[in-house]
A and B are shown apart, each in its own frame.
Chain A
Amino acid sequence: MSEQRFKGRVVLVTGAAAGVGRGVARAFGAAGARVGLAVRDPHAASAAAEGVRLAGGQPVVLRCDVTDPERCASAIESLVDRYGRLDAVVHNAVSNRSSEPTDFERAGLDLWEEHAAVSVRASYRLAALAFPHLAATRGALLLMTSPAGIDGSGPLPFYSAVKGAQRGFVRALAREWGPAGVRVNSVAPLAVSPALENVRANDPERFARIEALVPLGWVGDPADDIGPPSVFLCSEQARYVTGQTLVVSGGRFTGL
């Protein structure tokens, strides 16, 4: 990214150790941001932090399981204590089981809770905790949703539901926070997640079939394809954009 539109600004990215979160964190780094990488295991985030640094940003690794209210509070407070401000929060973390097919008809509330705790309740929690800081900077909240949260996925009914829920959250909160100057949006990406990395490595024919469904011809790179639109939505250049879901999928999903 040629311009450092986030120079001096502070961003928190959850689930930043791998996949889309890592790519988005790197893109914010390329925009000059100070990036708090909220991760459950700080040891697993060293490569992601190095990616932010090499891109031109300033990484801070924060131990944060988003299902733990105290960890969420301390992650946000430590960033604000260190840098004196918070300009954007990107909630990207999902359940470890998000890509596992779900047997909806036999599943229990415990499995539902694994999905909802990370995607739904943590969206509320992070938003509530970040609000005074985002209001002070007229900042932005960005949720990583999914095309499954628009179309619904048969194999992934829980994932679909929690990602759909995030879109309802975004629309309502955008109206609520608009008067405070805080924007709320979401991105629905098609990107090479860790699960898709496995498919690419172990089942290249299946990966090729997935790619063939994308009009632009490839599955998005987290940093190069998903990162820049995410940075845009959190930046001044999107100051009149709120309550929206931006589908970043190479044209794979066009139904919104």
Chain B
Amino acid sequence: MAEATTVVVGGDRGIGRGAADELARRGHRVGVVGGGTTDLTDGVAVAAALRGAAGDGEVGTVVVAHVEPAALTPVALAELGEEAWDAAAERTLQAGFVVLREAHEVLPDGARVVLVLPTVAATGVAGLVPLCTAVEGLRVMGKAVARRWGGRRITVNTIEVDLASFVLGDAQVGDDTASAVPPVPVLGEPALPAGSAVADVVAIVEVLAGEAGGALTGALLVADRGQVMQP
């Protein structure tokens, strides 16, 4: 992994930014495609950004940690309106498709894809129907492409973290950032003591990107310290 580049799509904010910084700190070669600077629904732009992020090196792993900012605004479905629905749900799904399609172009055989998503869709959250819709759609899209790309030994897995960590990385929810994180009802306390979500995600990415991760694909790994335990 240290030789090939890890490209973090959505590496300009939240958990994606934290993961990109931490991967670099650990000595990995990292490139970033920013969701805030690249139109992720534009295939040409995404392809160029992926190649630019890879630089001279081969891409070993693509980490995708992106939802459209509009999906993070809590609104009751009945008050949403079609344009807002599209900006939140449809556009997040479109971006996921385009990023995966273009990633496939630059990934060599045996490469790794890791989707990083919030856990919201596992339980559902009132006011965040577009986000939950898009997240579960992306997770299953990942499973479908895991089946498609397995013949090339490309693995595709999903890591989910709590919504605050997804939006803020390891930053604390404080007065200046609280508005960025929609309120999510706490359905259970984490089983494990609190820690760094960024470090947790990066540790799993390292395993998935390494030799030990070669046999794991289509999986969901919930890195929330034991809060949401999937059935």
Contact = CB atoms under 8 A, between A and B. Distances in A.
A, B bound: yes
Interface of A: 69, 104-105, 107-109, 112, 116, 120-121, 123-125, 127-128, 131-132, 148-154, 156-158, 160-176, 178, 243, 256
Contacts of A104: 97, 100-101, 104, 144-145, 148
Contact of A151 (B135, B138, B143): B143
B137 A162 contact: yes
A104 B104 CA distance: 10
A168 B88 CA distance: 14
B86 A153 contact: no
Contacts of A107: 101
27 contacts: A104-B100, A107-B101, A109-B98, A121-B85, A124-B80, A124-B85, A128-B77, A151-B143, A154-B148, A160-B141, A160-B144, A161-B137, A161-B144, A165-B89, A165-B134, A165-B136, A167-B121, A168-B133, A169-B129, A171-B123, A172-B120, A172-B132, A175-B123, A176-B77, A176-B126, A176-B129, A243-B124
Given A152-B142, A157-B144, A160-B141, A121 B90 contact: yes
Interface in B187-231: 218, 231
Interface in B66-103: 76-78, 80, 82, 85-86, 89-90, 93-94, 97-98, 100-101
A168 B134 contact: yes
Nearest to B42: A109
A150 B218 CA distance: 11
B137 A168 contact: yes
Contacts of B78: 128, 131-132
Nearest to A243: B124
Given A69-B82, A125-B82, A152-B140, A120 B148 contact: no
Interface residues of B, number: 50
Nearest to B86: A121
B8 interface: no
B124 A171 contact: yes
Nearest to A102: B144
B144 A167 contact: no
A171 B143 contact: no
B124 A174 contact: yes
A113 B80 CA distance: 20
Contacts of B148: 104-105, 154, 157
